[in-house]
Amino acid sequence: MADNIIYLTEPFVKHYQGTILALDGPTNSGEYDECTSHNEKISNLNHEVYQVPDNGLGRPTEIPVHFAKPVPYFFLKQLDLYSGPCRITSIFSEDKAFMEKNKNHYVIPDGIPTLYLKSNDPGIKALLCIQLEADDFPVVVNIIDRKNGDVKIQKNLDSPGEIDLNSLPFDFYELRLNFSERKPIIVTFIKLFAHTCDLMSGGRIGLVPTVW
């Protein structure tokens, strides 16, 4: 688990207000505009941020610390690392025919007709369905932790099937579909916490189920 469990006090890119994230840091941002003065560069370098592997569109980003607050201690014991829903943030392949075929499909958060998330028995969106064409198989499926590069799940499929993501804890992941005759398909997704912070009046917060 990362050093800090925080919630967003306002929306950031494609992350909603109240989203709970486990992140390392914070660290000083190294980003600055090349046209800024030396003093402004120093100011930006002292700007503390959380490094986030996925901005909700599949790309890494930095979230300024003032967009987030620590999840209160009395809520931490209620946070379930495993039973939250998954959310697809991007699907990409260098296979131009595949990308052209799927360019009009809405990827976030469920996927495309041949590669999509569906709910399991408790109603949590944590089953990834792979319904490719018959001649695309066999395919090797690797699910990789985007923070450290560890392979968390590896599975060989000879026909359409499902990948159960319930065994994965909260984190940011990359799924690679490796084919023998075509370029791989790369999917980024987030396994979310089962709860989200609900920001109420008077500065109070509560926990509500995460829904995607």
The percentage of residues in the chain with a pLDDT greater than 70, rounded to a whole number, is 90
Quick one: 30 and 99 in the same domain?
no
Domain shared by 132 and 112, yes or no = yes
What pTM did the predictor assign? Answer: 0.86
- Mean per-residue pLDDT, 47-75: 92
Q: What is the pLDDT of residue 31?
A: 54
Helix (H, G, I), strand (E, B) or coil at 4: strand
Are 94 and 20 in a shared domain?
A: no
pLDDT of residue 200: 80
202 and 167 in a common domain: no
d(CA 52, CA 54): 6
Number of folded domains in the chain?
2
66 lies in the same domain as 117: no
Q: What pLDDT, on the 0 to 100 scale, is given for residue 199?
A: 84
Among residues of the chain, what percentage have pLDDT more than 90?
54
pLDDT value for 35: 42
Say whether both 64 and 154 belong to one domain.
no
Write the pLDDT tens digit of every residue in 126-166: 999 999 888 889 999 999 999 999 999 999 999 999 999 99
- Residue 46, pLDDT above cutoff 70: no
| Residues 43 and 114 placed together within one structural domain of the fold | no
124 HSE (CA, 13 A, CB side): 19
**Dist. CA 65–CA 170, nearest whole Å:** 20
Q: Is residue 72 reached through a cis peptide bond, with omega within 30 degrees of 0 on the bond before it?
A: no
pLDDT band at 106 (very low <50, low <70, confident <90, very high): confident
Q: How far apart are CA 181 and CA 52, in angstroms?
A: 34
- Helix H, strand E, coil C: the string for 45-112 is HCCEEEEECCCCCCCCEEEEHHHEEECCHHHHCCCCCCCCCEEEEEEEECCHHHHHHHCCCCCCCCEE
pLDDT in tens, 9-43: 999 999 999 999 999 878 887 554 444 444 444 44
Q: What CATH code is carried by the domain that includes residue 109?
A: 2.60.40.3080
Residues 161, 111 share a domain: yes
pLDDT at residue 94, rounded to an integer: 87
Q: What is the pLDDT of residues 173-190, one digit of tens each?
A: 999 999 988 899 999 999
Does one domain contain both 111 and 174?
Answer: yes
Residues 91, 148, 183, 132, CA torsion sign: negative
For residues 194 and 42, what is the distance between their CA atoms, to the nearest angstrom?
39
Residues 60 and 155 in one domain: no
Q: Average pLDDT of the chain? A: 86
Question: What's the pLDDT at 99?
Answer: 82
Closest of 77, 115, 80, 81 to residue 98, by C-alpha: 115
Residue, of 94 and 86, whose pLDDT is higher = 86
Cα–Cα distances in Å, from 133 out to 105, 138, 159, 163, 170?
A: 17, 10, 9, 17, 31
Q: Is residue 103 domain-shared with residue 182, that is, in the same domain? A: yes
Residue 11 sits in which domain range? 4-78+194-209
Residues 104 and 125 in one domain: yes
Q: Please give the pLDDT value at position 34.
A: 41
